[in-house]
Amino acid sequence: MSTFIKDYIERETINRRNFLLATAAGMGAMAVPFAFGGGAARAAINDPAIAWSYRDRASAYWNSIVSGGEAFVESLGKPKESLVSLINEGSSEKSLADIKAFLAKTNGKCAIACDANDSPNARPVVEAVRDAGAYISTIWNKTDDLHPWDIGDNYVSHMTWSDEKPAEQTARILFEAMGGKGGVVHLGGIAANNPAIERLNGLKNALKDFPNIELLDAQPADWDTTKGTELMASFLTRFGDKIKGVHCANDNIAYGVIEALRAEGIEDMPIVAYDGNPEAVKLVMDGKLLATVFTNPHWGGGITAALAYYAATGAFKPSEEPKEHREFYGPTVLVTNKDAADFKAKYLDSVPAYNWKDFWGPSNGQIKYK
Amino acid sequence: MPRILTRENAIRWAPFLVLLALIVLFTALNPSFLSQRNFARIAIAAAPALMVAVGVTFIIVMGSIDLSMEGVVSLTAVLFCFLMLALGGTLASGGWIAIPVILTVGAAIGLVNGLIHVKLKIPSFMASLALGFVGTGAAILLTGGDIVKFNDPTFRALLTWRIFGFPLMVYVAGLCLVLAWFIQAHTRLGRYFYAVGGGEDLAHASGVQVQRVRMAGFALAGLFYAIAAILQVAKLGQAESVTGSNFMFMSITSVVVGGVALWGGIGGVWNTLVGVLIVAVINNGMVVIGLPDFLQAAVLGLLVIIAVILSTDRRSVAFVK
């Protein structure tokens, strides 16, 4: 069935809901201006189409983002298929082209959640959305000079995660497990990636308080398990017994490090990781990993879509929100052996039901630029 | 007595000499490079890559190219883990059946690749690249993007059980290499690969069923990709939709660096072994001597170019495309 016909039938069948939502949105729009002593008219879109634009489906992280987006659209009483996936496959050109196509298809009556793939791409994306009169919330990638409040209400919000502090915490846990002395190696993400830089900086911050710990070397393992094993094996040749602990930029690399050590019969090396993937949490429970950090992609995926959607419906007006509601850090949860079982029960075994109208509850303060 | 220092001999042994030179260089910069432990580490890194490279060697000798390895390795690795888990999760409890099944699946994918290439007359690079994407896509679909862990200690003995300091998987790879050499040197199919690669029209005129040889070549390559997938699972204890990534560059670079000509008919699995070792030694050595990471990609590229210059007989090449 062509998407046109499908869309048409869908439109006809959900007219009743549209009517109710429109009424609700309209009433909200009527009420709010009075609260602020009157003002600009609301640009409410009735039942905007919702899309998530992201890299790929080949990782647990992005799957979790999408699951959050789906949970959000289901909270609106829509089937989860009504969340449109715009998969850019790591191409900024495709990211922008897909978003423009979606804007054209919906005639600007849409709300978009988006990771722009790389920082420079965020500006053309949000400008295209603004010009079409649609609404967008972004995560991770944007340049430091681009702010939602400079673009206007159509650029609802930006969320990113500050990895420096949590990576510093994992480093401290690692150093304490090493007894405060010895050599440590860092296996990083793709060298130019922001989170990779921040996670290494976190390690370096912690090093200042541990004078007897030596950072032997830090090299990129490209977020990749295979690269992680091979890099770790080479580190073992270069430093041998001097390595007393391993700081990994993500869980995938840690899986590789554990295997490289297993091949050598080393079972008790202190290792810390990042991302809080289910396998890593299990390794923390088994004592193979000391710690990992969870950034709650499910909530991030849902709330980003929710912000764009409710701004589009006129449920809130972005420019009336404080700056810390336009640019903010996402939540981070440190997972250690002590709390891994509780964490698993709370976040992994069953997905918590979030209130998608509590936009900023779990967030972590306004983004700070250096 | 035949002269040893002929031009042909120099070119034949050039890749091996490059390998020796690299070992000497890295040892001079950090003596711990030249240790049995480190050679075992290089061997572990090289074993799955060697199987992929051996598979594609047959194709390149035929004068075709196969770019499906990443998708095939990912898909067979994921299927292997699923099947093992479904069969009880251990080798002992009947899980061993997964091994022949996955080898067959690999060969079947290769055969489909060959059929698309030969019957639909699509250039091999296009047919195989497309099929590789299908493989990756199927792996994503099966896993939903998640990691499939498979940690049966008996199976993982491929990595953890050492004989003379080298893990079992290195010997398995060695055996498969000998098998590949046997196919190349002592079977009719092996000789036909060279005949087709050396001059397809001539081979056809001499009664070689070129189409069948091509299909058999792709099936054989698929079989070796499946072996690589099993070794990769043994090495990492997991499979996911990106398990096969990087194998395309790694394997084709290795084959060419080892002195197998991309235009077909020249070289063989021993060249490939040397080529894989050169790339693995460079990757390991750069970290061991402490080369800054931002230089590593550039140095790898330069060394590959130098190795190819030294190991190809460019005088015998009429044109390069």
Q: What is the pLDDT of residues A225-245, one digit of tens each?
A: 999 999 999 999 999 999 999
User: Around B55, how many Cα atoms within 13 Å sit in the side-chain half-sphere?
Assistant: 35
Task: Identify the pLDDT of residue A57.
Answer: 84
Question: What mean pLDDT is predicted for residues B46-74?
Answer: 96
Nearest CA in chain A to B139: A58
Task: Identify the pLDDT of residue B294.
Answer: 86
Whether residue A29 is predicted with pLDDT greater than 70 in this model: the reply is no
Of A150, A116, A151, nearest in space to A135 by CA: A151
Question: What mean pLDDT is predicted for residues A75-94?
Answer: 94
What ipTM was reported for this prediction?
0.91
For A243, the token pair is: 């390595």
Whether residue B144 is predicted with pLDDT greater than 80 in this model: the reply is yes
Task: Identify the pLDDT of residue A319.
Answer: 94
Q: Are A143 and A123 in contact (CB under 8 A)?
A: yes
Report the distance separating Cα B307 and Cα B291, nearest Å.
19
Residue A235: list chain B partners with CB under 8 A. 287
- Classified as helix, coil or strand, B167 is strand
- Classified as helix, coil or strand, A202 is helix
Residue A351 banded pLDDT, cuts 50, 70, 90: confident
Quick one: CA dihedral A213, A217, A221, A227, positive or negative? negative
Of A23-37, A99-113, A269-283, the poorest mean pLDDT is in A23-37
The interface residues of chain A toward chain B in range 53-72, judged by CB-CB distance below 8 A, are 56-60, 62-63
Task: Identify the pLDDT of residue A39.
Answer: 37
Other C-beta atoms lying within 10 Å of the C-beta of residue A282: 15
Residue A30 banded pLDDT, cuts 50, 70, 90: low
Alpha helices in A209-292 (DSSP H): 225-239, 251-263, 278-285
Whether residue B1 is predicted with pLDDT greater than 60 in this model: the reply is no
Nearest CA in chain B to A67: B144
Helix (H) / strand (E) element for B121: namely none
The interface residues of chain B toward chain A in range 121-180, judged by CB-CB distance below 8 A, are 136, 140, 144-147, 149, 156, 159-160, 167
DSSP state of A344: I
DSSP state of A41: P
- Which pTM does this prediction carry? 0.85
Of A105-114, A156-165, A245-254, B88-97, the poorest mean pLDDT is in B88-97
Q: Select the residue of B32, B38, B236 nearest A225 (Cβ to Cβ).
A: B236
**If you average pLDDT over every residue of chain B, what do you get?**
92
Whether residue A10 is predicted with pLDDT greater than 70 in this model: the reply is no
Q: What percent of chain B has pLDDT over 90?
A: 76
Residue A12 banded pLDDT, cuts 50, 70, 90: low
Nearest CA in chain A to B167: A263
For A68, the token pair is: 């959050």
Q: Are B222 and B111 in contact (CB under 8 A)?
A: yes
Alpha helices in B199-263 (DSSP H): 200-205, 210-236, 247-257
Q: Do B232 and A226 touch (CB under 8 A)?
A: yes
Amino acid in position B133: F
Q: Do A230 and B284 touch (CB under 8 A)?
A: yes
Amino acid in position B302: L
For B17-34, how does the pLDDT look when each residue is reduced to its tens digit (9 = 90+)? 989 999 999 999 999 999
| φ, ψ (nearest 5 deg) of residue B125 | -65, -35
Q: Which residues pair with A111 in a beta bridge?
A: A50, A135
User: Cβ of B27 under 8 Å from any chain A Cβ?
Assistant: no
Task: Identify the pLDDT of residue A134.
Answer: 97
Q: Are B273 and B16 in contact (CB under 8 A)?
A: no
Nearest CA in chain A to B45: A230
Whether residue B315 is predicted with pLDDT greater than 50 in this model: the reply is yes
Q: Are B260 and B266 in contact (CB under 8 A)?
A: yes
Task: Identify the pLDDT of residue A22.
Answer: 59
Report the distance separating Cα A283 and Cα B279, nearest Å.
32
Quick one: CA dihedral A229, B281, B277, B66, positive or negative? positive
For A34-51, how does the pLDDT look when each residue is reduced to its tens digit (9 = 90+)? 444 333 444 689 999 999
Alpha helices in chain B (DSSP H): 7-29, 36-61, 69-86, 98-119, 124-143, 153-160, 168-186, 188-198, 200-205, 210-236, 247-257, 269-288, 293-311
Q: Do B159 and A263 touch (CB under 8 A)?
A: yes
Task: Identify the pLDDT of residue B81.
Answer: 96
Alpha helices in chain A (DSSP H): 3-13, 15-35, 60-75, 92-106, 122-132, 148-151, 164-177, 194-207, 225-239, 251-263, 278-285, 297-313, 340-343
For B213-260, how does the pLDDT look when each residue is reduced to its tens digit (9 = 90+)? 999 999 999 999 999 999 999 999 999 999 999 899 999 999 989 988
Report the distance separating Cα B305 and Cα A196, nearest Å.
31
User: Around B188, how many Cα atoms within 13 Å sit in the side-chain half-sphere?
Assistant: 7
